[in-house]
Amino acid sequence: MIDINKTIAIIKGGLLEPAKTWDAYLDENRSWQETAAIISAPLIIVTAIAAGILSWIFSSHYLFAASPGFGGFLLGIIAAFAGLSLAAFNFSFFAGMFKGRHDFSRGLAAVSLAAIPSYVGSILGTLPWIGWLLSLALTIIGLVFLYRIIPSYLEVPEEKRVVHFIVSLLATVVAVTLLGMMLGIGGFATTKHLKPTTDAGSGYNMLGGLGRQAELMEQAGNDRYEPPVDGKITAAQMTKYLSVMHKVGDLRADQKKSLQQFEQQNQGNKDFSLADIGALTSGMNAVMGNANAEMEVVKTGGGNWAEHSWVKNQLRTAMIQKDINDTVKHNYALYQKHEKELRALMQ
């Protein structure tokens, strides 16, 4: 199943003649196992080895240099395989939801082919001085390639193409970030090493925006709250909860406008180019910000996410159960007092 000559030809074609290479590979209709053996595995392993050697020579720290030693090296490879598989699954799964083709084999092929520039960038990124810029540029090119390859491989309708791409990419970033946290590594979460700056361009802004959301999730995950023994929500907690939810509504309304503008600007845009990466960044950050709006309002206000979640769950239980015990009766009375306001906020 492994074909070195085929791998070299695909990687070369993926860089120099991407569209022609994609069409040819699609015609071959290979399984995900063949794609993994011909493209995915060689890309990941060669990149890990090359980046590891160069990072040792130049004392740089990039994609596969987050954890020292052979164990860290092996963990980085496993993480990269997992990340690529998660991306393939997400793009394929959401393609099916957006009336495209739910096909993991095609999803893995599309993601692997589009990722060729990004993996080359991971190797060049270990070079001193200019390495980070080359890595960033090739990562952006990889995103553009992925956007362009989706219609032919996963048959997403043109009118759903933008939203599908953003939602799939967002889901992948969240999944990979959570996986990295569970594994205790940051090797494939490049936001650890690339910090947002005012002059770094749209690529840094994108990584910075995603990095900020990942930090919010991590901070919220570290929050702890010991609920009262009686399980009753206090009037102060209710007031704070309502204040948070009003701010969440305003924030989501603003983000929804940004996303709608992005969709309108890119409707029918078949020739997505590097010039559009800023708009893509704004749209992607708007979706992720919308998903995490409630968490962001709580954390930026110095609140406790665990306490906020507890109040929210207690209110929902009271709304459903109403009067099964004294605790629920108390919380339901609070809910009833603000029912009209709460229902408006839910909508």
Rounded to the nearest 10 degrees, what angle do helices 116-124 and 4-16 cross at? 90
Tens of pLDDT, residue by residue over 8-52, are 999 999 999 999 999 999 999 899 999 999 999 999 998 888 877
pLDDT at 314: 93
Q: The tokens 């204040």 sit on which residue?
A: 243
Q: The tokens 């709250």 sit on which residue?
A: 225
Retrieve residue 200's tokens. 């770094």
pLDDT in tens, the chain (347 residues): 677 889 999 999 999 999 999 999 999 989 999 999 999 999 999 888 887 787 777 654 444 444 456 666 677 788 888 889 999 999 999 999 888 999 999 999 999 999 999 899 888 888 877 878 888 888 888 888 998 899 899 999 888 887 788 888 878 887 887 777 666 654 333 333 333 333 334 443 444 555 566 667 768 878 999 999 999 999 999 999 999 999 988 887 776 676 566 556 655 554 544 445 555 555 555 555 566 788 889 998 999 999 999 999 999 999 999 989 999 999 999 999 998 888 887 76
What is the rounded distance in angstroms from the CA atom of residue 84 to the CA atom of residue 108?
A: 8
Q: The tokens 């491989």 sit on which residue?
A: 153
Q: How many CB atoms lie within 10 A of CB 74?
A: 12
pTM value is: 0.57
pLDDT at 141: 87
pLDDT at 172: 86
Tens of pLDDT, residue by residue over 61-96, are 444 444 456 666 677 788 888 889 999 999 999 999
Instruction: Kindly list the domain boundaries of the chain, sorted by start residue.
Output: 4-194, 228-346
φ and ψ of 181, to 5 deg: -65, -40
Contact 342, 335 (CB under 8 A): yes
Buried b or exposed e, range 180-209, using 16+ CB within 10 angstroms: beebebbbbbbbbbbeeeeebebbbbbbbb
Q: Pick the closest to residue 319 from 307, 310, 331, 311 (CA basis).
A: 331
Residue 243 three-state SS: helix
